[in-house]
């Protein structure tokens, strides 16, 4: 069990620098939901509780046994101190038979769309724990892939951030078209959509698949207006720059600060990226924009050097 829990915690490690392999401060308090919420004896108690509620692991075709188990709805309402249902816990601990049985007996989407106190649905946890088969079963049962956690991430955001290609494939293939377009276009609370997250991490396959599925290759981050091409230059990822240009990315797109992707190559190491973008950037957009802040600072300095005299101040009538 200790080894099993350590593996799960590894899979849900959101605070690790992918380039240096070291631990960094996480932007979220705890993204493993109930992974760390149960001691060993408590886990055993949960398993016994599931057995007590007659959730025998029988295939769905045994309708009589399933109907008998479905008569009690107590298991649907039980939650932990973290807001996890028994389905959340079963997914966290990869109890495959219990997962399938609970999904089959849920009968409506309210239970499988239930969010814990971090607003994670069972689908979020299935992606975090790399269980693509569970993702498929949840989506087939009507799980909503557009629901977001407390960071604004859909399950697809999480798959793209961590390069989880199996879960990405299941979600994109199982989603209804309107859901797929919505989750690919949606920005999380950091202003990034799925394409931005995959681009920052350099997942070429995910980027290519998303653009082929209809994602806007020129969509901008909400915070500073960077596109995926800007992010590829930031990461000095020449392969990603080439891929995005082949997919129709606009090399003349401006950020909120008025910078093209070529501007971001100045002072960086990759001559190949600089040369590729120089040829594609409009001549009038190659020069860095004038800095208004420098001008204003010069004006303030000039004003501070001048002596200012006041002759209209009165004190006690004088």
**DSSP calls for 72-97:** --HHHH-B-TT--BHHHHHHHTT-HH
Domain ranges within the chain, ordered by starting residue:
225-289
Q: Is the pLDDT of residue 300 over 90?
A: no
Most confident of 54-63, 123-132, 309-318: 123-132
Please, which pLDDT band fits residue 45 given cuts at 50, 70 and 90?
low
Q: Is the pLDDT of residue 313 over 80?
A: no
Q: Which fold has domain 225-289?
A: 1.25.40
Q: Give the per-residue pLDDT at 102.
A: 94
Q: Give the per-residue pLDDT at 39.
A: 56
Q: Is the pLDDT of residue 294 over 50?
A: no
In whole angstroms, give the CA distance from residue 174 to residue 136. Answer: 7
Contact at 8 Å (CB) between 234 and 267? no
Q: Give the per-residue pLDDT at 311.
A: 56
Most confident of 101-105, 193-197, 264-268, 314-318: 193-197
Q: Give the per-residue pLDDT at 240.
A: 98
**Helix, strand or coil for residue 120?**
coil
Q: Give the per-residue pLDDT at 104.
A: 92
Q: State what percent of residues in the chain have pLDDT above 70.
A: 68
Q: Is the pLDDT of residue 16 over 70?
A: no
Q: Is the pLDDT of residue 8 over 90?
A: no
Lowest-pLDDT range of 102-106, 216-220, 253-257, 303-307 = 303-307
8-state DSSP, 23: B
Q: Is the pLDDT of residue 35 over 80?
A: no
Structure tokens at 300: 């303030």
- Mean pLDDT calculated for residue range 259-269: 94
Q: Is the pLDDT of residue 163 over 60?
A: yes
Please, which pLDDT band fits residue 46 given cuts at 50, 70 and 90?
low
């Amino acid at each position: 069990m200790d080894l099993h829990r350590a593996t799960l915690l590894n899979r849900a490690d959101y605070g690790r620098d992918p380039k240096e392999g070291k631990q960094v401060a996480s932007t979220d308090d705890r993204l493993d939901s109930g992974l760390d919420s149960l001691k060993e004896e408590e886990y055993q108690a949960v398993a016994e509780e599931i057995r007590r509620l007659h959730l025998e692991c029988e295939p769905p075709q045994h309708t009589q046994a399933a109907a008998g188990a479905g008569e009690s709805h107590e298991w649907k309402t039980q939650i932990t101190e973290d807001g996890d249902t028994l389905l959340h816990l079963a997914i966290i601990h990869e109890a495959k038979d219990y997962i399938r049985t609970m999904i089959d007996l849920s009968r409506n989407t309210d239970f499988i769309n239930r969010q814990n106190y971090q607003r994670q649905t069972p689908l979020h946890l299935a992606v975090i724990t790399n269980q693509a088969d569970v993702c498929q079963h949840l989506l087939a049962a009507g799980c909503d892939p557009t629901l977001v956690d407390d960071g604004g991430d859909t399950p697809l955001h999480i798959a793209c951030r961590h390069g989880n290609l199996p879960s990405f494939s299941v979600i994109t293939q199982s989603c209804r078209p309107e859901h797929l377009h919505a989750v690919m276009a949606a920005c999380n609370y950091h202003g990034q959509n799925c394409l931005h997250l995959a681009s920052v991490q350099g997942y070429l396959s995910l980027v290519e698949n998303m653009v082929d599925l209809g994602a806007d290759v020129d969509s901008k981050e909400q915070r500073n207006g960077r596109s995926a091409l800007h992010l590829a230059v930031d990461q000095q990822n020449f392969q990603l720059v080439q891929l995005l240009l082949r997919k129709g990315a606009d090399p003349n797109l401006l950020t909120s600060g008025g910078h093209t992707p070529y501007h971001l190559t100045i002072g960086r190491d990759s001559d190949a990226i600089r040369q590729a973008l120089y040829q594609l950037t409009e001549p009038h957009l190659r020069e860095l924009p004038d800095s208004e802040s420098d001008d204003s600072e010069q004006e303030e300095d000039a004003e501070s050097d001048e002596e200012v005299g006041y002759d209209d101040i009165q004190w006690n009538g004088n």
